[in-house]
Amino acid sequence: MELNGGILSTVLEGVKRLAKPGVSTQELDRFAEDAIRQAGAVPAFKGYRGYQATLCTSINDEVVHGIPSKKRVLADGDILSVDIGLKKDGLFSDMAVTIPIGTVSDEILAFLRVSAESLEKAIEKAWPGNRLGDISHAVQSHVEGHGFSVVRDYVGHGIGYGLHEEPVVANFGKAGTGPRLQAGMVLAIEPMVNMGGYEVRSLKDGWTVVTVDGSLSAHFEHSVAVTESGPRVLTHHHPGPGKKGEAATA
Ligand code: MF3
Ligand code: CO
């Protein structure tokens, strides 16, 4: 799963480099599918419950499950959530990130930072003996402590031989509650954070989820193994040697 996660995060790095004003979300999707297939893997979302794309691309008030389209062209000041998954050798990998397009305000950058931090705080709780609620609470307390809200209607999940396995990993809850974490579990932890209220609704396309109040939404996800020596993030980018501009040769 760590090998697969390395591939996945490398593909996502490529998507991030391409995501500029003027680029359509369909172009990003094409790139991602090609790159995943070139690595000998298959897109995990394509065909899942009839979903037709490799990526979910959710812009601004779109929370998750935005469908890539040639009509959706990125504009300066947008924020774009990219969710990506693959399957290789029978094992799934799933991750997401929200990126600023062009120039966005400091207020929005702070919102993105807090959202990303909430995932990091959650990951820090992924130790054997801790409880699932410790992860949920870590997300919620960090997010709400900064005046933002966590989406209730969508959750993280176990991952491995299936894209969505038990348990449900909520982004809100009480510390010290829920099942105990054990070494060998792998969790896709994925806070969805709204700048305004937590309520969301689905659009008529049957997929796209948006905030009810129109506020911005961010999404960060890693696949994380619980090990005896603590949390191990499986969806990390391992830059190859000699790549220009990347700290790979140290
Ligand atoms: N990445 C999503 C998740 O974390 C799954 C996307 S749903 C799909 O659960 F239908 F688009 F695949
Ligand atoms: Co997921």
Q: Which atom of ligand 1 is nearest to the CA of 154?
A: 9
Upper half-sphere CA count for residue 67 (Cβ side, 13 Å): 14
pLDDT over 90, % of the chain: 94
Residue 191 C-alpha to ligand 2 middle, in angstroms?
A: 10
Q: What is the pLDDT confidence band of residue 132, given thresholds at 50, 70 and 90?
A: very high
Surrounding ion ligand 2 within 5 Å at CB are 94, 188, 190
Indicate the average pLDDT of the chain.
Answer: 95
Q: With bands split at pLDDT 50, 70 and 90, how would you rate the model's confidence at 178?
A: very high
* 243: pLDDT strictly greater than 50: no
Residue 1's Cβ-side half-sphere holds a number of Cα atoms within 13 Å equal to: 26
Q: Does CATH place domain 2-233 in 3.40.50.2000?
A: no
Nearest CA to ligand 1 atom 2: 83
Rounded mean pLDDT, 124-152: 98
Flag whether pLDDT at 108 surpasses 60.
yes
pLDDT recorded at residue 239: 54
176: Cβ contacts below 8 Å, ≥ 6 apart = 131, 133, 134
User: What predicted TM-score, i.e. pTM, was given to this entire model?
Assistant: 0.94
Residue 125: pLDDT above 90?
A: yes
Mean pLDDT of 85-92: 98
Domain map (residue ranges) of the chain: 2-233
Rounded to 5 degrees, φ, ψ at 37 are -70, -35
Q: What is the pLDDT of residues 180-212, one digit of tens each?
A: 999 999 999 999 999 999 999 999 999 999 999
Q: Are 210 and 200 in contact (CB under 8 A)?
A: yes
Among candidate residues 242, 235, 167, the one with its CA nearest the CA of residue 9: 235
Question: How far is ligand 2, taken at its centre, from the CA of residue 160, in Å?
Answer: 11
pLDDT above 70 (res 244): no
Q: What is the pLDDT of residue 238?
A: 61
Q: Hey, which of 25, 49, 52, 56 would you mutate to test ligand 1's pocket, going by the most ligand atoms within 8 Å of its Cβ? A: 56
> Residues 207-239: pLDDT tens digits?
999 999 999 999 999 999 999 999 999 999 765
On the question of pLDDT at 242 being above 90, the answer is no
Q: Is the pLDDT of residue 248 over 60?
A: no
Please give the distance, rounded to the nearest whole angstrom, from the Cα atom of residue 65 to the centre of ligand 1: 7
Q: Which residues form the pocket of ligand 1, taking CB atoms under 6 Å from any ligand atom? A: 45, 48-49, 51, 56, 65, 83, 85, 94, 164, 188, 190
Give 24-50 pLDDT, tens digit per residue: 999 999 999 999 999 999 999 999 999
3-class DSSP string for the chain:
CHHHHHHHHHHHHHHHHHCCCCCEHHHHHHHHHHHHHHCCCEECCCCHHHCCCCEEEEECCEEECCCCCCCCECCCCCEEEEEEEEEECCEEEEEEEEEECCCCCHHHHHHHHHHHHHHHHHHCCCCCCCEHHHHHHHHHHHHHHCCCEECCCCCEEECCCCCCEEEEECCCCCCCCCCECCCCCEEEECCEEECCCCCEEECCCCCCEEECCCCCEEECEEEEEEECCEEEECCCCCCCCCCCCCCCCC
Task: Determine the pLDDT at residue 213.
Answer: 98
pLDDT of residue 240 exceeding 70, the answer is no
Atom of ligand 1 nearest to the CA of 46: 12
Ligand 1 centroid distance, CA of 94 (Å): 8
